[in-house]
Each structure stands twice: as C-alpha cells, then as structure tokens.
Chains A and B, each alone.
Chain A
Amino acid sequence: MTENNEKVKQPVELDLKFKYKISKIHGGEKLMRCFQCGTCTSDCPIARFSDTYRPRQIIRMAQLGMKDKVLHSDTLWLCAACFTCTDRCPQDVEVANVIRVLRNLAAEEGCIPQVFKEQYASIIESGYAYKIPELRLKKRETTGLPPLPKGDAGKIKKTLSEIKLFNNGAKMEGQQ
C-alpha cells in the first residue's frame, strides 16, 4: 500500500548492480544468501513495536536493487543492532551487518541522523562520544574517583583525517 496515490503507477527505479556493490563491502558479503524466511523480522525487538521496520523487507529491497528507496528510508535507522537476527539467521546472512552496510552507504549519500554528527564532533574534540559536564569531572574528585583519562584531539583527528563523511555538509535527519 502506498500513502501517495499519484505515485502508484510510477515504476520503481532499480539499480541491478546494487546487490553486487553491497556484497563487496565488509559485512555485506552474504546478502545473496537470504531466501526470505522472515526469521529476522519475527525475532526483531524493534519490529514488534514499529509499524514500518522490517529487516526481511530491507534485505529483499536491497537484493532487488531498490537502492534509492532503501537508502533514503527513515526505517533504516531504527535497527538497534542487538544482533538477534544475525545470530538466528539460518542462512548466516549477518542481517545486522548488511543493515550497517546500507546505513553506511546512506550516510555517504548525505543521510546522517543528527545524533551521529553530534557524537562525531564530541569524539573529535574530546575522545568521548558525549560532552562530559564539568560538574561530573569535579564530582569524580569528591567521590574519590581518579581523574578521567583524556583524549588526544590532535591524534584522533590525525587518525580519522581520511574520513570525509562528516566534512561535506551532510543532510540532517530528525526523529521519525
């Protein structure tokens, strides 16, 4: 069922090489093994409460080459990476890894939810994924905890210098 009736008759553009592209990326190698049994979706904790997130469907769309639809879909970001699907898949597709590969490709196209941009900015600056409040650092002293190990911003930046992802003004996505 489609929400937008005018679009019903529009053919979906397929990228027939998409599956080969995914299969060449670390983590996506076993995409073609999926025979659509649905174990991933039936065991997925997110699918239980979401009306839209269906890992089996994402895998099928990727196999068929529905590249744009998959990569620009908000539901792609719902996977909690619990790895239940990966452990239970009878074909050893490593479903959660395929989803991660798809998310990485979406990010390359500029679809990066805001939360990841914030975490990246914080890691680059301090080493920590969250900005640790000054109050917390002071409280460590009063509770007898040793000082927090510091991140070396210069070294972290140097190590990540070849990663362009966050430097090209990627599009921000909000909550669904």
Chain B
Amino acid sequence: MTAQNKYLLFLGCAIPYRVSAMEISARKVLGKLGVELVEMPEFNCCGLPLDPVSHETMLLLAARNLAIAEKEGLPILTLCPGCAGTLKKVNKTLKEDKVLREEINRKLKETDLEFKGTVDTKHMIQVLVEDVGLDKIKQSVVKPLTRIKVAEHNGCHILRPESFIGFDDPEDPKVLKSLVEATGAKCLDYMDETECCGAPSVGVNDKVALQLARDKLTHVKDVEAQAMITICPFCHIMYDTNELRIEKTFNETYGIPIIHYPQLLGLAMGLSPAELAFNELRVNSSKLLEQV
C-alpha cells in the first residue's frame, strides 16, 4: 500500500500550543530511525475535546482528518495519544457502522472528502515498537543511559479503551517500559502506575486534577526516580507545567523532571540536550543531564 515507515504527521492542538519540546525531539529521533514524516496538507482538531458536548462534532472532525489522510494515501502518526485514540476509534466505528458512515460521508462530500476506512492511525510509541522495532532502537543507542533510573507514565488514552487501542495491556503496560529500557535506563515500578494524570479535569475542577497529579508525583518520588517519562502532551503539561503549582498547593517538594520519551531516547542516541529542547522544560533537568 504505502512505502514502509512513511507517515502523515498529525500534530494535534496541544503540542503546537505549548509542548514544542515533544515535537522537536520526536522529529529528530524518528528521523534518525528512518521514519519519514509528511506534513498534513490541512489540519483540524481530532475532535476529542468536543466529544463531551457533541459526539457528532467529534465524529465529523475525526472523519475529516481520516479522509484527508486517505487522499494522501498515507497512514497517520500522532504524537498525542488522545488524537491517536480518537482517530483509531472513529476509523473502526465508521468501518463497522454503514448507516453512520453514510451519514458522515454525506457531510464530508460537501468539501470533496470521503471516508473509506483505508488508513490506520498509530501513536509514535506504537510505530516505534511495531514498525521500527526494539532491535533497531537499541542499535541506535550510542550512549546507554545506564546511570539513570526513571519512572514511566503511560497516560490513559494510549491504553484505553482496550477494544479500540489494544496494542498494550492496560492493566500491566509493557511497551513504554521496554522502550525506556532500550535506552539503557532503568525503568522503575511504582504504585498506581496507570493512574490518570487528571488533566481532563483542569478547568472543571482544578482541585481534583491537582490532587491526582500530586498523588502520582508522590509515588514516583517514593521510588527515587530521577525523572518521569511521558508520551502525552496533556500528561506532560499536568506534571511539568503544573509541578510548581502542585508543590505550592500541597506544600511539597518534588523537583522531578518530566521528560518526553523522544528526549530520553535522543540523549541515548548522542543528541545534545539543546537539540532535544530540554530548555523548554519547566522543571530543571540539569541534575539528570549530569548523569548522561
């Protein structure tokens, strides 16, 4: 169908808005691993943010993106698990539900688009583990991070609902751990690893959201992790951007740097912290970088 490891990059909204370190590092690392990224010819939000108020709006926005990708003849690679989950879910739903598909296509037709269900969507870590492969990733490591101990945080939408995502076990996820360990770093187990970051509750009830994030940071601190590794822009905002706020609210000190996975892998590949946009992180990571 398409050349191997060539994808349409779906950036989503949160990353260009305030999580550019993830994009910068992901582009560098994927490039080094031979993953070719093509820019979306036009973009609209995947639709997930509006699903709570209008499921139909979400379906239309997601289907538009899928139809655009079908026109380009390329599978989609996302950096945001929310986008990946939404596009996967809508793709599957519309493929299975003929009535709904026809209804959505009636509206897409007005802008010369049609959903046929011919492209897949994968999040970056799914591409890394399935299409690039752990062996190739390990081979790309020139500076194994053997002195670093970290904790991973998957987030919810890379794992659930299992019926739509289904490439890792939501109750005992292993993919991100294996990717972290491919860099030579030690990936620690900790309490409530799969717990939600709380980001979706920001703006609805900040108190609950911050309590959830605090809980996670406390568990990560308890096992003496030197950093937390994330793969979701929203989880990253929750822990990195808000870490100081959480510390102040609950009178705690964490000082745990929150690192995007491609930043960690990039370090192991011999890229410099500057190339991987470590300067964009709120929480100081200099102590961690000394260990590289």
Return the CB mask of B51-91 against A: 1 if under 8 Å, else 0: 11111110011001000000000000000000000000000
Q: Which of B24, B156, B208 contacts A84 (CB 8 A)?
A: B156
Give A84 to B192 CA distance when docked, in angstroms.
Answer: 13
* Residues in chain B near residue A45, CB distance under 8 A: 195-196, 198, 212
Task: Tell me the A62-101 residues at the B interface (CB within 8 Å).
Answer: 77-84, 86-87, 94, 96, 100-101
A50 close to chain B: CB less than 8 A: yes
* Residues in chain B near residue A103, CB distance under 8 A: 52-53
- B111 in contact with A159 (CB, 8 Å): yes
Which of the four size classes fits the interface of chain B? Answer: 35 or more
Give A148 to B111 CA distance when docked, in angstroms.
Answer: 21
B13 close to chain A: CB less than 8 A: yes
* Residues in chain A near residue B208, CB distance under 8 A: 46, 49-50, 53, 78
Known A-B contacts A158-B111, A175-B203; A116 and B50 likewise in contact (beta carbons under 8 Å): yes
Return the CB mask of A134-162 against B: 1 if under 8 Å, else 0: 00100110011110111110011011111
A38 close to chain B: CB less than 8 A: no
- A128 in contact with B45 (CB, 8 Å): yes
Give A128 to B20 CA distance when docked, in angstroms.
Answer: 15
Q: Which B residues form the contact surface with A (CB < 8 A)?
A: 11, 13-14, 16-18, 20, 23-24, 27, 39-45, 49-57, 60-61, 64, 100, 107-108, 110-111, 156-157, 160-162, 170, 195-196, 198-201, 203-208, 211-212, 277
The 14 listed contacts between A and B (C-beta, < 8 Å) are A45-B195, A46-B196, A49-B208, A77-B52, A77-B204, A81-B156, A81-B200, A87-B170, A128-B16, A136-B17, A149-B42, A155-B42, A155-B64, A159-B60
Extra contacts besides A77-B204, A151-B43, A152-B42 (8): CB < 8 Å:
A46-B201, A53-B208, A123-B49, A123-B50, A127-B44, A149-B42, A152-B44, A163-B57
